[in-house]
Amino acid sequence: MDMRVRKPVSHPMPEIAAFVADIKSAFGEQEIDEAIRRGKAGEPTFFACENGRSVGTASPAEADVWRVDGAVRDRHYCDGCDGSCVGGDVSCSDRLNRIAKEKR
């Protein structure tokens, strides 16, 4: 007997979904959901595109634009992180360890 088996549906934007999950855990689900909701409603508070799909509202081209590059990927936000490590050569945890050693 032939049966059709459905494969689990993967997320259409898996990298964006993983990034959003990470920032929700770092900054709070309520705040990030609000930014996404406002972006979907037409405000330039959230915009993402991946695999030919997009969601949210892009900022005007003449506005300041910050693009994610290799310096930001694979970053983990630690408790007490102020974000100053983003874009630098030192990870958040390394910076916090250095500060802890200096206080000793």
Residue 21 forms part of a structural domain: yes
Q: Are 96 and 78 in contact (CB under 8 A)?
A: yes
Q: Please count the structural domains in the chain.
A: 2
Residue 6 forms part of a structural domain: no
Range of the domain at 97: 69-104
3-state secondary structure 27-86: HCHHHHHHHHHHHHCCCCCCEEEECCEEEECCCCCCCCCCCCCCCCCCCCCCCCCCCCCC
pLDDT of residue 77: 59
Pair 24, 42 in one domain: yes
pLDDT of residue 61: 73
Pair 75, 103 in one domain: yes
- Return the closest-CA partner of residue 57 out of 31, 32, 37: 37
pLDDT of residue 98: 83
% pLDDT > 90, the chain: 36
Pair 51, 73 in one domain: no
Residue 64 forms part of a structural domain: no
> Stretch 22-42: mean pLDDT, rounded?
93
pLDDT of residue 32: 93
Residue 1 forms part of a structural domain: no
Tokens of 6: 């459905």
